[in-house]
Structure 1
Amino acid sequence: MAQGKVMDLKSEKDVWDLQNIKRAQLVDVKEVPLLDTTAEKWEEVWRFKARPDDLLICTYPKAGTTWVQEIVSMIQHGGDTEKCDQLPITERIPFLELFINDGCPTSLEVADAMPSPRTLKSHLPVQLLPPSFWEQKSKIIYVARNAKDNATSYFHFHRMNKGMPEPGTWDQFLENFIEGKVAWGSWFDHVIGWWKAKNHYPILYLFYEDIKEDPAKEIQKIAQFLNLDLPEVLLNQVMQHTAFENMKQNPKTNFTNVPSFIMDQSVSAFMRKGTVGDWKNQFTVAQSEWLDDACAQLLKGINLTFRTQL
């Protein structure tokens, strides 16, 4: 969401022309489908000036972004929940390439005005990341999630978020997902591109399934990457605060500050299930085999493996 006035949207609903809340269209930017609002402002995104002490949290959409954002925020604030709860996650960590025509400052403008060190968010594939991040050698945390759960979560996100393109049926969406004809492009290209980049830049590459299975280990890994000490008492506070059910009930992380005419959480919650293996409730056997075949072909020789159940 755009920053700054997000908290006031419900009270300012009358200033919105609800007829203009249209589902986004996809526009290719350097052969990657992006939201039309992002494509229109692409030169501004590309020229964004990163700083050496920036931290960028990057994921394919619906791969645990908000979860890791809140983990990082808690670590940075020394486990102080009150400090984390002062602002919604959308205002603490700007989403660089998201633009909403609501008269608010853009995320890029908010980020530019933030004091260092900044924590930022993006869904961009590696080849579209503004070059200043590479030039400044900014630290990046990347989170990857298995394709089946990622596709399932992304489909339901499209259903509830009226700012996203129309998803169509599940069959249609899955076909588009496998072919990379969804916002931010191919899941395969995304996870592979960032996997290769980690060998050349300060990138911590995490897996959603690992965080779910052993949050203490992965949270400590994040703290070490940030050069921050996390004693056991603080680790336990971070784990408790960022447990899925707690985040789902937390208005600072569950996006209930976004009005329902944009995100209709009666259709599907922004924080839906947060599990590994829920894809089994969505996929047919044939669809599961189809995606397995695509993974076997497109991840071949990459030394990158995903777990679809724990």
Structure 2
Amino acid sequence: MEAKGDGSAEADKADFQKMIQGMLEKAKQLKPEELVFRYKGVLYPSVPSSVQTLQALGNFQARPEDLVISSYPKCGFNWVNLLLRDIAFINQNESEDGKPGVRSQLKLLEFENAGNYEEMKNDPSPRIYGMHGHYNNLPSSIHQKKTKILVVFRNPKDNAVSYYHFCQNNPLLPTFSSWDEFFRNYMTGEVCWGSYFDHALVWEKHFDDENVKIVTYEELKENLAKGVQSIAEFFGLSLSEEQIQKIAGRGTFQAMSDNAEKTHSSFGKVIFRKGVVGDWKTLFTKEQSEEMDAKFEACLAGTKIGAMLKYDLYCKE
């Protein structure tokens, strides 16, 4: 799902907009239940993805020098994708005005196809791409080549609220009759890409793998410059202090949101909504909050990912 073009920002933007419009038109012709399909027990969006794509994904050939991002939906994938593209661009060649070139390409492997995977073989390194699927669903070549994977997590309460609004505002996904209905589905994993907690438990097993780095949405909000430096160091990309501050300055969520129309065309307003921590308090009932607390305690209490999420700080009144 990457914009193609003649290399100019305007051409890329036009092609990206055309691709989005094509998907929106396709979605209009489908019934709500046809907007998703099930593959190996997990739901996926049917307009940008397909069973054939997910089957072909197993044959994707990764490179050791690829820069890979993985996150459960609405944990900050698009934000980190733009940050990483900026980091990689500046590391290679900063333009005279200090502004990187086109950084808007979004390449989610689940949204590509076998033909695109073949085309990617011709892409120069480092290639930047990602997935919303968890560790076990990544192409086996990523594990074989020890390709580095940056994993992004977000506290589950804010994630659930963000995911709900994303579904309600995204024509490519079925909407829900209410927040209560969505919450029930979220807690049972009956949303696209399955259960948040299943993702976390799988990644917990690989927390200390040397080719895996886990960051949280909240820590990036707390200190973006430190996060930029940490991400760059993980991928072996060298940045000066001035470059780190420059990337952090234009990489705030607000800056990304303000620039969303340029980077993601008309879909930008769907992807970048609030970007705040604590928005869960606008929708969670006391009972739902307690249910989520119990789920977190059962699944992630005492885990390294659980500790990183600072649940008591961000998910308790």
**Superposition RMSD in Å:** 2.9
2:13–2:263 CA contact under 8 A, matched in 1 = no
Are 2:309 and 1:299 aligned?
no
Q: Choose the corresponding residue for 1:63, options 58, 75, 85.
A: 75
2:3–2:15 CA contact under 8 A, matched in 1 = no
Are 2:131 and 1:122 aligned?
yes
1:98–1:107 CA contact under 8 A, matched in 2 = no
Provide, for residues 127-174 of structure 1, a one-character-per-residue CA deviation record: whole Å limited to 9, x for no partner: 111101001110100011010001111111111111123333211111
| Matched position secondary structure for 1:41 | helix
Shift of 1:264: 8.9
Letter in 2 for 1:139: K
1:254–1:270 CA contact under 8 A, matched in 2 = no
Identity %: 31
Distance 2:24 2:303 in 1: 48
Shift of 1:98: 1.2
1:54–1:117 CA contact under 8 A, matched in 2 = yes
Q: Choose the corresponding residue for 2:228, options 219, 224, 237.
A: 219
Q: Choose the corresponding residue for 1:235, options 241, 244, 249.
A: 244
Per the normalisation by structure 2, the TM-score is 0.83
Residue correspondence of structure 1 range 270-281 to structure 2 within 5 A: 270-281=271-282
Distance 2:157 2:62 in 1: 33
Q: Judging changes above 3 Å, is the alpha-carbon distance between structure 1 residues 282 and 299 closer, same or farther for their aligned structure 2 residues?
A: same
Distance 1:227 1:15 in 2: 38
Distance 2:268 2:225 in 1: 33
Provide, for residues 231-252 of structure 1, a one-character-per-residue CA deviation record: whole Å limited to 9, x for no partner: 2111110111101111111146
Are 2:95 and 1:94 aligned?
no
Distance 2:278 2:72 in 1: 18
Question: Match of 2:7?
Answer: none
Are 2:291 and 1:290 aligned?
yes
Q: Choose the corresponding residue for 1:197, options 179, 202, 206.
A: 206
| Matched position secondary structure for 1:133 | helix
Letter in 2 for 1:194: W
Shift of 1:219: 1.4
Q: Judging changes above 3 Å, is the alpha-carbon distance between structure 1 residues 156 and 114 closer, same or farther for their aligned structure 2 residues?
A: same
Distance 1:13 1:61 in 2: 18
2:90–2:243 CA contact under 8 A, matched in 1 = yes
Letter in 1 for 2:70: C
Provide, for residues 194-241 of structure 1, a one-character-per-residue CA deviation record: whole Å limited to 9, x for no partner: 222232350111111111112122211111112122221111101111
Are 2:76 and 1:76 aligned?
no
2:135–2:203 CA contact under 8 A, matched in 1 = yes
Structure 1 or 2: more helix by fraction: 2
| Matched position secondary structure for 1:159 | helix
Q: Judging changes above 3 Å, is the alpha-carbon distance between structure 1 residues 7 and 195 closer, same or farther for their aligned structure 2 residues?
A: farther
1:88–1:251 CA contact under 8 A, matched in 2 = no
- Paired residue total: 296
Question: Match of 1:247?
Answer: 256
Shift of 1:182: 0.7
Per the normalisation by structure 1, the TM-score is 0.84
Distance 1:206 1:13 in 2: 29
